[in-house]
Structure 1
Amino acid sequence: MFEDAVKQQVLSSALRLRTASSTLTRDFYARLFTSAPELRAMFPEDLRPQAEKLFDMILVLVQSLDHLQMLVTELEALGARHLDYGVTEEQYAVVGSVLLDTLADHVADWDEADRAAWAQLVDYVSDLMITGARDHASPAA
């Protein structure tokens, strides 16, 4: 799936997180709603449960780097649910960019190799979620 060097870079950077999960996800959502304020309406007032889900998903992805194919069905289903929430394909790029920028500020010694590795992972997840959304939308079309 991913080259060993990419997997090692993601793992290494995940181990270099300087902040607690709540700080990382709070910062992520603050940045997201600044970059794309229209997305705020898609989320509940209390972001804590959503923030926990986001961080849990990040952990699952990091821990599953050698077995990501096992998550394909789950990620496609997640994309279908996000379509039902009103998420568009274009918004995946915004979320991915904001996530990378947030990680850059929360991972010690973040560098371009970290960004490139995480970008591959984010793109992989986004592609699967978009596929799930498209498959979910096509029967209704």
Structure 2
Amino acid sequence: MATYTNRYRVDASFEDTIEAVTAALGEEGFGILSDIDVQGAFREKLDAEFGQYRILGACNPGIAYDALDEEFELGALLPCNVVVYDDGDATGVSVVDPTELFSVVDNDDLEPLVADVASRLETALAAVPDAEPIEE
């Protein structure tokens, strides 16, 4: 299974989970820069059916500013993606693990920013009602 994400199971509907995740991220200073409806895109572009699957591009502007000021090319790794998907019995949420994602960048000055993002994402997902971490 993937080691580059932190996964959660949420006992709520898909739409309620989208709202709860968006609100919880907002409490930690993240806005949603993009919201990709994969199911709708596959239906429209490929005439193919796919389960409910949304990719939320989350960004904390202050941290992003500091990170880009430190490492200009870092924009290729932004924003932090949060995936919400129908998991049959519940709703799944996968959040990129910033520590893994930014391990490809050889810049020790970014470590405090990456740790801050990781902590904020963890705090946000812990605040989502009925969210339980999925341990590997």
TM bucket, shorter chain: 0.3 to 0.5
* Structure that is richer in helix per residue: 1
TM-score (norm 1): 0.32
TM-score (norm 2): 0.33
